[in-house]
Amino acid sequence: MRYVYFATFFIAILTVSVLGFRGTLSTKPPLELIPDMDHQAKYKPQAESPFFADGRADRPLPAGVVAYGRSSTAADGVFLAADDALYQGKNASGEWLHGFPPAVKVDARFMARGQDRYTIYCAPCHGALGDGNGITKQYGMGATPSYHDVRLRQMAEGEIYNTITNGKGNMLSYADKITPEDRWAVIAYVRALQRAQNGTAADVPPSHQSELGLK
Ligand code: HEC
């Protein structure tokens, strides 16, 4: 008797595996025992509606509304993000912005914020000095450039903004971690690092030049 059960079971498996589940598509709606709230009355975009006098289901925007949401580069929840300098790093003619957007004020507090964010998010690869010798180098990530190369010293602030926002090569985007304002603060700090590594005797205050044997 056991063998009969066994054989039936085996034949059932065999039948299903040969004939069943062969990837055929069905256009019939699936059997929904519990439809929950899957099917509800709704309008699809740009559909007609007899309910409104103009026959459109899409309603025109009330006067004075402001778009809210995500721009392509800005963090979540910023109004419109229409300031291209601040949110894209671009000037009015669409080129990379040189200098800082008018919306940010570069002062000591801003720099301190930049140092703070830089130390968290950039120093692991770019190093505390910006020379590309961060901790990741010891673990085999060798291609991190130094900020002190002429090319990166001359790079427009807006292009650095773009690198932080969208990433480059092995460097991922930091758009979800660093707000647009903080990205500019980081750039201010990167500029400070570059300045610090390329000082000349003329940068030493005259009162201290004698200590270096310059005078
Ligand atoms: C995970 C390691 C890593 C981190 C963290 C990192 N970078 Fe990078 N970064 C790289 C690498 C690798 C490159 C080279 C990318 C390439 O050219 O392919 C690079 C390139 C750059 C460049 C040069 C881009 C160019 O056009 O040549 C800048 C500027 C830069 N990073 C700034 C930053 C800043 C600012 C931060 C912090 C917000 C940061 N990076 C965080 C790895 C990192």
Q: What is the pLDDT of residues 67-76, one digit of tens each?
A: 665 554 444 4
DSSP state of 101: -
pLDDT computed for residue 186 by the predictor: 98
Please report whether residue 82 resides in a domain: no
pLDDT computed for residue 73 by the predictor: 47
Q: Are 131 and 194 in contact (CB under 8 A)?
A: no
Please report whether residue 146 resides in a domain: yes
pLDDT computed for residue 68 by the predictor: 65
Q: Total structural domains in the chain?
A: 1
Smallest CA-to-CA distance from 171 within 141, 193, 201, 199 is with 141
In Å, how far are 2, 11, 26, 58 from 18, measured between CA atoms? 24, 10, 19, 51
Please report whether residue 184 resides in a domain: yes
CB 74 less than 6 A from any atom of ligand 1: no
pLDDT computed for residue 46 by the predictor: 94
Please report whether residue 187 resides in a domain: yes
CB 186 less than 6 A from any atom of ligand 1: yes
Q: Name the residue with the closest Cα to ligand 1, atom 36.
A: 122
CB 164 less than 6 A from any atom of ligand 1: yes
pLDDT computed for residue 2 by the predictor: 81
Q: Is the pLDDT of residue 170 over 50?
A: yes
Cα(103) to ligand 1 centroid in Å equals 25
pLDDT computed for residue 74 by the predictor: 45
Please report whether residue 94 resides in a domain: no
Cα(72) to ligand 1 centroid in Å equals 20
Please report whether residue 38 resides in a domain: no
Smallest CA-to-CA distance from 103 within 191, 195, 183 is with 183
State how far the Cα of 158 lies from the Cα of 200, in Å rounded to an integer. Answer: 26
Cα(168) to ligand 1 centroid in Å equals 7
Please report whether residue 152 resides in a domain: yes
Q: Is the pLDDT of residue 192 over 60?
A: yes
Longest CA pairwise span in the chain (Å):
110
Domain of residue 118, residue span: 108-197
Q: What is the pLDDT of residues 3-49, one digit of tens each?
A: 899 999 999 888 888 777 667 788 888 888 898 888 888 999 999 99
Ligand 1: atom nearest CA of 168 is 15
pLDDT computed for residue 106 by the predictor: 96
pTM: predicted TM-score of the whole model, two decimal places: 0.72
CB 193 less than 6 A from any atom of ligand 1: no
State how far the Cα of 199 lies from the Cα of 190, in Å rounded to an integer. Answer: 14
Please report whether residue 122 resides in a domain: yes
CB 85 less than 6 A from any atom of ligand 1: no
Ligand 1: atom nearest CA of 169 is 18
Q: Are 185 and 117 in contact (CB under 8 A)?
A: yes
Q: What is the pLDDT of residues 107-153, one digit of tens each?
A: 999 999 999 999 999 999 999 999 999 999 999 988 899 999 999 99
Cα(180) to ligand 1 centroid in Å equals 17
In which residue are the tokens 């140092």 written? 115
CATH of residue 189's domain is 1.10.760.10
Q: 105: left (phi > 0), else alpha (psi -120 to 50), else beta?
A: beta
